[in-house]
A and B are shown apart, each in its own frame.
Chain A
Amino acid sequence: MSAPAAIRVIPVRPSPAGAVVANLDPGARTPRYLDVDVDAGAVLRDLDIVVVAAGSVGGRLVALAARSGVRSLLIVDPDTFSPESVLTHDIGPEDVGRQKASLAGERAKAISPRTRVVVFDGPFEDLPRDVLAGADFVLLSSDGLACEQAVSRACTRLGLRLLQASLHGSTLSAQVRSLANAADGDGPGLCCGYSRREWDELDRGTVFSCTGNGRAPTSVGPPTMSPPQLCSIAADLAFMEVTRIALGIAPRIASTADVLLDYNGYTHATTTTALARNPHCPAEHSRWRIAPWPRPLSAATLRELLDAAGDARGTLSVEGYVFARRALCACGLDSPLERFVPDGESAGECPACGAPCAPHPFDAHREAPAAMLALLADRTLAELGAAGPATVLARGVDGTAVLFSESFAAPERAQIARRIR
């Protein structure tokens, strides 16, 4: 089993050329846009952007964001470049075999040293659930349906603007879906537009390794067949949407609306279509309230968390842990436990034989009901075994959800990086 990927901050590499770039005026090529009163360069340099998938489309999105000098970039991609990537990606033969996210991040840092560039060479599904919080835009160009679904769900939960760039090579079509995930929580997700064929493809094309390590799935299927010029058009259209929305160039309604922008290379026509929630969509559309926790979560008692969530009858889910009421040993002993256990790890030693125990599968809870925790309500998470949780999610019986995060209010994403590592 390979070790899970870590979030890394890309450092500035000192070089004579780098020094020249570092001293550039970042607004030297920013025009004064017609009817835009704000300092466009300053607005763009204040953006926090997440790019999921750094391939032929995503790699260019990263470059465009870096050239705009955005404040921070988080780049996520578990894949490496194959020899065929040379045909569609902006890379040379020497880059084959390299991690896509890392290479895109290094290039972005070289272009814009002031941008905080963070890369994750792993699947999106492995990221902590608050890592996107605070992002201005999430730009998605993955062709895996499972990844699409996970990103859409995360953006809906956290109320983040999602722009998805996609391609259909044989019709020379490039599309950008722009989902506002506005505060009313009634907007569509990406899955709302799935056809029956796409749902079937999601079922059939998603493969998990039977090593039982709980890692994210991979999608199997043919590679995307698109010419490189279509890839860059999709990326350019998506980043044009970023610019329009950030600067308010788009009509006011468009900045909060959910739209599909379609470009067709056969006709050179672009069309926009409004997107709406599909009431029959089986995907999750719940919205979470983000609650910064002012001190270490491990020092919070269960009662404090439930009180802060405003529903003493709901459930608590501590990220990275299960609440185990009993432990089970290979020798057959079934012993009481009543504490949090790191997900996938041992539940301590067996009192009889000393071997490592596992949480009893019937009594291990990812979401622990408040009633189950009642006798432990005044104990802290650390006292109950959860020494370093990233987040805690409290769900009320009425469906409301509050995500407690100690890092959300922090100004630098590096704090998240340190915690993960």
Chain B
Amino acid sequence: MIKPTSAPLQPPYGLSDLRRVELTWQQRKGLNAANADSQGPPEWRARKLVEATDVFALSQISSRMQVLALDMRTELKFMIRLRCPVPCKSPASDDIAVAPYAEIAIRYPEDILRGPLPGYALIQIVAPRRVWLPNSSYDVAQRVCLGVSIARNFPLKEVILACHAAMTLQAITLDSRDVAGLMNQAACTWWRANTHRIPLSRVPFLGDEDENRNEHGNGEES
């Protein structure tokens, strides 16, 4: 696991300031090691380094994500822990359980430089299992769909933010006829009948820890 600093950096750091964020020596060591094995054309290797640096910087300014692993050999891949409430539901149960975090695998292929990619091509939830979200497939793969397509050159940091919004139901597809992101019809129907529980968290990705409330999946302030 590649550790961030003990506490997230405070504002004014934001998404546009990621290049100003200084990585910790552990992060830099992990990044350098992965980059040494990076393959592909020069422009792709350079792009992988930029995107990976941004993700490490993002993990410094947000308390809600942690980089678990990085692979830059061919595609750019990350394993990331997102600290946010994640709804799960076993087939036998009528109600959901809320897990405190998700581990997601992110795949960022070279094709993103050339043209749009399917909305479900980049993210899969590894843990917890049986995630109950309209935008996530309810199968062993647990792909997360972020829309009808992901635009060419879409930055990886934006992918992570979009994933967080989908997990916490800050962005949700409730129209079962909508092709933009719907992967689980049954979950879509379930959440339409339980809109009072949406969102699972109002805390923004770059939010303050003190704002960390309303993460109980019941729509009530604590």
A interface residues with partner B (beta carbon < 8 Å): 146, 149, 153, 199, 202-204, 206-210, 212, 214, 217, 282-284, 286, 314-315, 328-332, 346, 355-358, 360-362, 365-369, 371-372, 395, 397, 399
Nearest CB to that of B111 among chain A residues?
A: A284
- Taking a contact as CB atoms closer than 8 A, the residue among A286, A346, A361 that contacts B105 in the complex is A361
In the complex, A399 Cα to B71 Cα: how many Å?
A: 19
Which residue on chain A has the smallest CB distance to residue B104? A361
Bound together, the chains give a CA A203 to CA B8 distance in angstroms of 35
Assuming A330-B129, A356-B140, A362-B69, is B120 touching A212 (CB within 8 A)? Answer: yes
Nearest Cβ on chain A to B33's Cβ, whole angstroms = 14
Residues of chain A within 8 A (CB-CB) of B181 are: 210
Which residue of the partner chain B has the closest CB to A356? B140
Q: Contact check, A282 vs B71: say whether CB atoms are below 8 A apart.
A: no
- Indicate if B196 sits at the interface (CB-CB under 8 A): no
Give Cα A78–Cα B149 distance, bound, in whole angstroms. 20
Contacts of A314 in B (CB 8 A): 39
Q: Are B183 and A212 in contact (CB under 8 A)?
A: yes
Q: Report chain A residues within 8 Å CB of B118.
A: 208-210, 212, 214, 217
Minimum distance in angstroms from A373 CB to a CB of chain B = 12
Let me know if A202 and B39 touch, CB within 8 A.
no
User: In whole angstroms, how far apart are the Cα atoms of A399 and B110 in the complex?
Assistant: 14
CB contacts (< 8 Å) of B119 on chain A: these are 208, 210
Q: Judge whether B100 is part of the interface by a CB distance below 8 angstroms.
A: no
B141 contacts A315, C-beta separation under 8 Å: no
**Contact present for A210 and B107 (CB under 8 Å):** no
Further contacts, 17 of them, CB under 8 A, given A208-B116, A361-B126, A371-B37: A202-B116, A203-B151, A206-B116, A207-B148, A210-B118, A212-B118, A212-B120, A212-B145, A217-B149, A331-B129, A332-B129, A360-B126, A361-B124, A362-B77, A362-B79, A367-B74, A395-B39
- Across-interface contacts of B143 in A (CB, < 8 A): 212
Per the bound structure, the CA–CA distance linking A30 and B22 in Å amounts to: 73
Contact, CB under 8 Å: A329 / B115: no
User: 21 A-B Cβ contacts within 8 A?
Assistant: A146-B115, A149-B114, A199-B152, A202-B152, A203-B151, A206-B116, A207-B149, A208-B118, A210-B118, A210-B181, A283-B114, A314-B39, A315-B73, A328-B140, A330-B130, A330-B139, A358-B139, A361-B141, A367-B74, A371-B37, A397-B39
